[in-house]
Amino acid sequence: MATSNGLIFLTTTFLTLLLVSVQATASSNCDNCCDNYNPNRNAYFGDLHVHTAISADAVGYNVAIRPDDAYRYAFGGIANLPDAQGQITRQYQNPRPLDFMAVTDHAESMGAVTVCNDESSEGYDSEYCTVMRNSAGTNPWMMVKSIVSPFPSRDKDACGDDLSRCALGQVKVWQETQDAAERWNKRCEHTTFVAYEYSSFRLGSNLHRNVIFRNDKVPAAPLSHIEAPHDYQLWKWLASDCLDANTGCDVLAIPHNMNISNGRMFSLNYPGAWTKKAKAELAQLRMRIEPIIEIMQHKGDSECRNGLPGVQGGVDELCNFEKMEDTIFRNEAGEIEAGECYEGPGADWVPHLGPSCLSRQSYARTALIEGLRQEQEIGVNPFKFGLSASTDTHNAIGGAVDEDNFPGHIGKADATIDDRISAREGKTGGISTNPGGLIGVWAEENTRDAIFNAMQRREVFGTSGPRMKVRFYGSWQYEESLCNNSDRNVLADSNGVAMGQDLPPLTSASNPQAPHFLVQAQADPGGHATAAGNDLQRLQVIKGWIGDDGDHHQKVYDIAGNPNNGASVNLNTCETIGSGHRDMCKVWHDPDFDASKRAVYYVRAVENPSCRYTQHDCISLPEGQRPAECNDPHYPKTIQERAWSSPIWYTPEK
Each domain of the chain, given as residue ranges in start order, spans 43-69+88-101+110-115+127-134+148-443, 468-650
Mean pLDDT for the stretch of residues 458-473: 98
Residue 131 binned pLDDT confidence (cut-offs 50, 70, 90): confident
**Residue 20: band (very low, low, confident or very high) from pLDDT cuts 50, 70, 90:** very low
Tens-digit pLDDT profile for residues 136-185: 544 444 556 666 777 888 999 999 999 999 999 999 999 999 999 999 99
Determine contact, residues 86/62, Cβ cutoff 8 Å. Answer: yes
Q: Amino acid letter at 84?
A: A
Dist. CA 497–CA 473, nearest whole Å: 6
The more confidently predicted of residues 271 and 561 is 561
* pLDDT tens, residue by residue, 71-111: 999 999 999 999 999 999 999 999 899 999 999 999 999 99
Is 429 a residue whose pLDDT tops 80?
Answer: no
* pLDDT at residue 532 greater than cutoff 80: no
CA distance 160 to 258: 34
- The confidence score (pLDDT) of residue 16 equals 46
Are residues 635 and 614 in contact, defined by beta-carbon separation less than 8 angstroms?
yes
What was the pLDDT predicted at 311? 96
pLDDT-above-90 percentage for the chain: 79
The angle that helices 67-74 and 164-184 make with each other, rounded to 10 degrees, is 30
Which three-class secondary structure state does DSSP give residue 638? strand
- How many other C-beta atoms are found inside a 10 Å radius of the C-beta of residue 480? 11
Residue 343 is predicted with a pLDDT of 83
The 3-class SS string of 535-551 reads CEEEEEEEEEEECCCCC
Task: Name which of 96, 132, 66, 61 is nearest 396 in CA terms.
Answer: 66
Compute the distance between CA of residue 367 and CA of residue 372 in angstroms, rounded to an integer. Answer: 9
pLDDT confidence band for 511 (50 / 70 / 90): low
Please determine, for residue 508, whether its predicted confidence score (pLDDT) is greater than 90.
no
What is the value of pTM for the model shown? 0.94
649 bridge partner residues: 502, 600
Across 177-197, average pLDDT: 98
CA–CA dist 468, 644 (Å, integer): 10
Question: 3-class DSSP state for residue 462?
Answer: strand
Which of 311-320, 411-420, 424-433, 596-605 is predicted with the least confidence, judged by mean pLDDT?
Answer: 424-433
Closest C-alpha among 98, 103, 49, 41 to residue 459 = 41
How much is the pLDDT for 2? 38
pLDDT of 1 > 50? The answer is no
Contact 45, 438 (CB under 8 A): yes
Mean pLDDT, rounded, for 409-424: 92
pLDDT at residue 360 is higher than 90: yes
Mean pLDDT of 515-526: 96
Residue 302 pLDDT exceeds 80? yes
Contact 633, 618 (CB under 8 A): no
- In the predicted model, what is the mean pLDDT of residues 532-549? 95
Residue-level pLDDT at 147: 63
Angle (CA) 356 359 364, round 5° = 120
- Residue 15 pLDDT more than 50? no
pLDDT at 3: 38
The residue-averaged pLDDT of 19-41 equals 72
